[in-house]
Amino acid sequence: MENLNEVLAANRALLARARDLNTRAGTSLFPVQGRDDLTKLFVVALRGARRVEEIRNLSGLLLPELDKKMVAKVLDESPDTINVLGREVTVEYRSGYNPRVRLDFHGDEGRDWLSLPEDGIHLPCGREVTMYSSVEGHEYYIEAKSSQFKAKARECLNEGLWSQWQKPELPAPTDFVSPVVEAEYGRCVVTDASLVAYGAVIYAPYYGSWKSYWTRDPAEAEHVHAEAKDKFVKVREGIARDAHKGDTLQPSFLLRRPFRQQ
Rg (CA), the chain: 33
pLDDT in tens, 150-166: 999 999 999 999 999 99
Domain boundary among 28, 55, 75: 75
Nearest to 211 by CA among 170, 247, 241, 178: 170
* 237 confidence band (pLDDT: 50, 70, 90): confident
Mean pLDDT value across residues 121-144: 96
Domain boundary among 36, 60, 75: 75
Helix 68-77 × helix 4-25 angle, to 10°: 40
Number of domains in the chain: 3
Give the pLDDT of residue 12.
Answer: 86
Give per-residue burial for 178-214: e unless 16+ CB within 10 Å, then b: eebbeeebbeebeeeeebebbbbbebeeeeebbbbbb
Instruction: Indicate whether 246 pLDDT > 70.
Output: no
Same-domain status, 153 and 169: no
Give the pLDDT of residue 258.
Answer: 46
Strand partners, 195: 186
Range of the domain at 45: 4-75
pLDDT in tens, 203-227: 988 777 899 999 999 999 999 999 9
Fill in the DSSP letter of residue 262: -
Strand partners, 76: none
Who wins on pLDDT, 43 or 92? Answer: 92
Domain boundary among 75, 92, 117: 75
Predicted model pTM: 0.73
